[in-house]
Amino acid sequence: MTLVDTHTHLDAAARSGGLPGLVGRAREAGVHWMVAVGTAPDDWGLYRDISRDHGDAIRYTVGLHPCSVEGGWQAAVDQIAGFWRPGSSPVPVALGECGLDRFHLPKDPEGAAAVFELQKAAFRAQLSIARSIGCPVVIHSRGAFRECVDMIDESGVLWPKIVFHCFSEGETEIRELAGKGGRGSFTGILTYKNADSVRAAALAQGMERLMIETDAPFLSPVPHRGKTNEPAYLRHTAEYAAGLFGLTLEAFAAETTANARAFYGF
Ligand SMILES: [Zn+2]
Ligand SMILES: [Zn+2]
């Protein structure tokens, strides 16, 4: 059985020397692949290096997270396309995570509006790069579903290349994404007691496009809720979700792994 953690952050583990242990525990849990998702120039080069060193386990992406967007965003975004240039090896499997986040804005309304405008500018620029590369795009959307959808529509990026990661909207929103050809991927939130609407969204999307992720080190699934998350814990989300869909773990793993590898192209 093989699972893919389609969205994780490995910078802390890599910097503390904990990566070999983390990869080993993941493998024991059946999680043979993980996608390390970039958030800022700090982690892009690191992720390229660890994906080269762990070519049989780690793939990576490069993108500027909306919470990393500040006045100097343009200089950061200008570095992104370079990761796809011939000779840059290995090449990222997607651009992201990028998008919009209303949950971590400054408290004063004027400051919040200004930062949100910067987020939009950085998101628009990254969508345009993704469109010219033709790569998949990992979207981070919190409290900004409508704006994200509209900006993707305007960008000309093809919807089958889009994943809204850590999907935490409801059925209506996932049906809208599915109708366009996009998808959502799901974290350990699926296992939380109060997450009925997220479970309903996963079921409404169906197995055909389903991908699962840890978003480690955050959002540990039950029974590790509240602790530091890591790719091995994807197993708990997979077991829970297999039950939700009425499948064996093996069948669930086979289908979500095929979906993930087709989406990211590895
Ligand atoms: Zn995110
Ligand atoms: Zn993330």
Q: Calculate the average pLDDT of the chain.
A: 97
Predicted TM-score (pTM) above 0.95: yes
**Distance (Å) from CA 236 to ligand 2 centroid:** 19
| pLDDT score recorded for residue 89 | 85
The verdict on whether omega for the bond into residue 90 sits within 30 degrees of 0, i.e. cis, is yes
If you average pLDDT over residues 66-76, what whole number do you get? 97
Alpha-carbon distance 211 to 165, whole Å?
A: 9
8 Å CB contact between 162 and 141: no
Q: What are 182-193's pLDDT values in tens digits?
A: 999 999 999 999
Alpha-carbon distance 207 to 242, whole Å?
A: 10
If you average pLDDT over residues 139-158, what whole number do you get? 98
Ligand showing the shortest atom-to-Cα distance for residue 100? 1
Q: Tokens 């989406």 identify what position?
A: 263
Ligand showing the shortest atom-to-Cα distance for residue 67? 1
**Distance (Å) from CA 165 to ligand 1 centroid:** 6
**Distance (Å) from CA 94 to ligand 1 centroid:** 14
Confidence of residue 8 (pLDDT cuts 50, 70, 90): very high
Is the predicted pLDDT of residue 194 greater than 90, yes or no? yes
Ligand showing the shortest atom-to-Cα distance for residue 142? 1
For domain 3-264, the question of CATH label 3.20.20.140 is answered with yes
Of all residues in the chain, what percent carry a pLDDT higher than 90? 98
Ligand showing the shortest atom-to-Cα distance for residue 99? 1
Which runs of consecutive H residues, i.e. helices, occur in the chain? 11-15, 19-28, 41-53, 73-77, 109-133, 145-155, 171-180, 196-205, 234-244, 249-264
Is the predicted pLDDT of residue 88 greater than 80, yes or no? no
**Domain residue ranges of the chain, discontinuous segments joined by +:** 3-264
| pLDDT score recorded for residue 224 | 92
